[in-house]
């Protein structure tokens, strides 16, 4: 690029615009302000359909060139690329930083890339835009306009320029051919006769012999990953202990079709032995059903938002728990939509990739994969999968152990309960919050008792599931019993502080209450006894009433 010619074009143009900003900056320019302008100009370039925007130092608003001494050391100047990347979305930074002289005065030009489709750029977590020449927070309408741009964009179908079939692993192609034959047994002889190019086209991995992002992701050699940049083709397996401290890790890249199995092999799928309560229980089972591991991992691959530049994580905890996470929002919006609808999702983030994975029998598009995961866990009497959804990631936690054998086995075997009801009861049993609508639904069916957030399984269900003791524990000792303990203490020891009563009562209160709620319950019972005239305070001490 002839940067002097480019500068001349800017100077003869009408004025500043949303994608062109002049700053005098004779000596210095605040780096935080520079970051805000980076965010604003990048977002505005996206909204205007431009490939880039420019910030120019050493030029006044009236376009008179005054020169700048900002970071005259070249290395110090170009360090700005890393400094900006450290605080922007997905570490996006300047395309280039140019220095030039114009009429004997130094001018610095920053070439700023347009925000990618569907990905507004933030500086230190805040999104900026421009109102004419004014730096402003990006308004909500513009923010949503950028975020919804990629609903019809399929990263996975894009042609990977300058790549050839030589960038693919022959071992991975052979594995793909094997899986495709299993999926299409009637075509076995034809598949065997196809050359690699024909096979890849037929399996919808390439397009007319051209290598797609999908082809590199699933079948690419490990050294071919760079062809997907700035996207990242990486799965990280991390082993952590019960204190969340990492003990081991390994990173896996292309080809995913082979390395998914290597990730699976890293997971310690230990045998789990039940406390055998009846002939219903097997002596032992795998902590994790193989289908669940592969389904969760392949879902991460199929639905990852590769434009965000993140990696897929599989975190294994030593206390029998797996956490899978990938970048990108959950397109069905909530897990209930998937569980209740036995049909394919009408839209996919990576449609071409998903179709290729279906053709290779890696995933199922009939919408039953996640539901099957729930049913497998239910039938093993294990806690159900837990999904944590946000705009930027999806996280699913799989427990590899029983939460409560008696409760889970009986509850799961009750024929009158639907999977949706069991999912909600599973949340209540774990102490997870449910919505007021969900709570009302369960109460109408007499499945739970209590008030949000202190819900517990109802006595009817507890009776059916042999959980009478657990029901009493969850419900907690009643106020009368609590007050009798206080009165008995004061009768014996004459006086006591609230802290004394907390020591006696806190461990007797229901587990669904947190520590503050338990302390409030003690406080409320003391006040109830005072109002009834049974006890009275003396500063911080409580005594039996003399009346």
The model's pLDDT over 297-331, given as tens digits with 9 standing for 90+, comes to 999 999 999 988 899 999 999 989 999 999 988 87
In total, how many domains does the chain have? 5
- The CATH number that applies at residue 31 is 3.30.950
Shared domain check, 248 and 147: no
Shared domain check, 357 and 448: no
Shared domain check, 271 and 195: no
Q: At what angle do helices 419-430 and 436-444 cross, to 10 degrees?
A: 110
CA–CA dist 326, 324 (Å, integer) = 7
* Residues in the chain with pLDDT values less than 70: 14-16, 150-151, 274-283, 333, 341-347, 365-367, 391, 404-415, 458-478, 510-513, 547
Residues 6+ apart with CB under 8 A from 420: 336, 339, 340
- The CATH number that applies at residue 367 is 3.30.565.60
**Tokens representing 56?**
């120019």
Shared domain check, 530 and 485: yes
Shared domain check, 239 and 362: yes
Residue after which a domain boundary falls, among 451, 475, 499: 475
Shared domain check, 145 and 170: no
Range of the domain at 11: 3-153
The model's pTM is: 0.60
DSSP conformation class of 347: -
DSSP 3-state of 101? strand
The DSSP-derived string for 232-258 is: ---EEEEEE-TTS-EEEEEEE-S-HHH
Shared domain check, 387 and 254: yes
- The CATH number that applies at residue 483 is 1.10.10
Shared domain check, 260 and 326: yes
Shared domain check, 112 and 30: yes
Shared domain check, 512 and 370: no
Shared domain check, 375 and 245: yes
Residue after which a domain boundary falls, among 475, 499, 522: 475
Shared domain check, 185 and 278: no
DSSP 3-state of 331? coil
What angle is formed at CA 48 by the lines to CA 120 and CA 310, rounded to 5 degrees?
Answer: 25
pLDDT in tens, 463-518: 555 555 555 555 555 678 788 889 988 988 899 999 999 988 887 776 656 788 88
CA–CA dist 537, 462 (Å, integer) = 40
CA–CA dist 148, 165 (Å, integer) = 34
CA–CA dist 59, 29 (Å, integer) = 13
The two beta strands, 105-113 and 20-23, are: unpaired
**Tokens representing 124?**
């230190």
Residues 6+ apart with CB under 8 A from 375: 419
Residue after which a domain boundary falls, among 407, 423, 441: 407
First to last CA, the chain: 95
**Tokens representing 328?**
């990108």
What angle is formed at CA 269 by the lines to CA 268 and CA 271, rounded to 5 degrees?
Answer: 125
Residue 371 pLDDT: 87
CA–CA dist 504, 516 (Å, integer) = 15
């Amino acid at each position: 690029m002839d940067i002097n010619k480019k500068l001349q074009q800017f100077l003869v143009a009408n004025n500043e615009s949303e994608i062109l900003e002049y700053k005098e900056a004779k000596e210095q320019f605040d780096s935080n302000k520079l970051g805000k302008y980076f965010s604003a100009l990048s977002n505005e370039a996206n909204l205007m359909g431009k490939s880039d925007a420019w910030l120019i130092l050493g030029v006044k608003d009236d376009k008179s060139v005054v020169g700048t001494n900002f970071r005259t050391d070249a290395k110090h100047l170009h360090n700005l690329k890393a400094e900006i990347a450290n605080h922007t979305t997905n570490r996006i930074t300047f395309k280039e930083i140019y220095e030039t002289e114009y009429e004997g005065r130094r001018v610095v030009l920053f070439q700023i890339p347009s925000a990618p489709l569907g990905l507004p750029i933030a500086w230190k977590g805040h999104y900026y835009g421009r109102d004419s020449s004014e730096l402003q927070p990006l308004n909500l309408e513009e923010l949503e306009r950028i975020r919804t741009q990629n609903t019809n964009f399929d990263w996975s179908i894009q042609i990977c320029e300058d790549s050839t079939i030589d960038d693919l692993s022959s071992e991975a192609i052979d594995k793909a051919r094997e899986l495709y034959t299993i999926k299409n047994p009637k075509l076995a002889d034809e598949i065997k006769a196809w050359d690699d190019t024909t096979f890849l086209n037929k399996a919808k991995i390439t397009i007319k012999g051209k290598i797609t992002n999908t082809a590199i992701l699933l079948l690419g050699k490990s050294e071919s990953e760079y062809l997907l940049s700035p996207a990242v083709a990486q799965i990280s397996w991390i082993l952590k202990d019960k204190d969340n401290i990492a003990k081991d890790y390994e990173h896996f890249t292309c080809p995913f079709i082979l390395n998914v199995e290597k990730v699976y092999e890293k997971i310690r799928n230990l045998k789990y032995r039940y406390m055998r309560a009846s002939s219903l229980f097997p002596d032992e089972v795998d902590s994790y059903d193989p289908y669940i591991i592969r389904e969760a991992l392949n879902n991460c691959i199929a639905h990852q938002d590769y434009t965000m530049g993140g990696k897929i994580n599989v975190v294994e905890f030593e206390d029998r728990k797996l956490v899978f996470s990938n970048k990108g929002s959950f397109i069905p919006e909530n897990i209930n939509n998937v569980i209740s609808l036995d049909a394919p999702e009408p839209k996919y983030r990576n449609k071409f990739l998903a179709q290729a994975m279906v053709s290779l029998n890696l995933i199922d598009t009939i919408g039953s994969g996640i539901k099957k995961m729930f049913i497998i866990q239910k039938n093993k009497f294990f806690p159900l999968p837990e999904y944590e959804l946000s705009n930027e990631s999806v996280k699913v936690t799989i427990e590899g152990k029983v939460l409560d054998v008696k409760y889970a086995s009986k509850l799961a075997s009750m024929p009158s309960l639907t999977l949706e009801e069991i999912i909600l009861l599973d949340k209540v049993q774990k102490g997870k919050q449910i919505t007021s609508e969900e709570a009302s639904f369960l109460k109408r069916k007499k499945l739970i008792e209590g008030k949000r957030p202190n819900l517990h399984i109802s006595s009817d269900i507890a009776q059916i599931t042999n959980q009478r003791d657990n029901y009493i524990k969850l419900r907690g000792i009643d106020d009368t019993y609590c007050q009798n303990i206080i009165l008995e203490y004061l009768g014996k020891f004459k006086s006591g502080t609230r802290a004394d009563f907390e020591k006696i009562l806190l461990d007797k209160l229901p587990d669904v209450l947190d520590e503050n709620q338990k302390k409030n319950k003690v406080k409320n019972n003391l006040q109830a006894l005072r109002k009834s005239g049974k006890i009275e305070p003396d500063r911080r001490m409580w005594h039996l009433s003399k009346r």
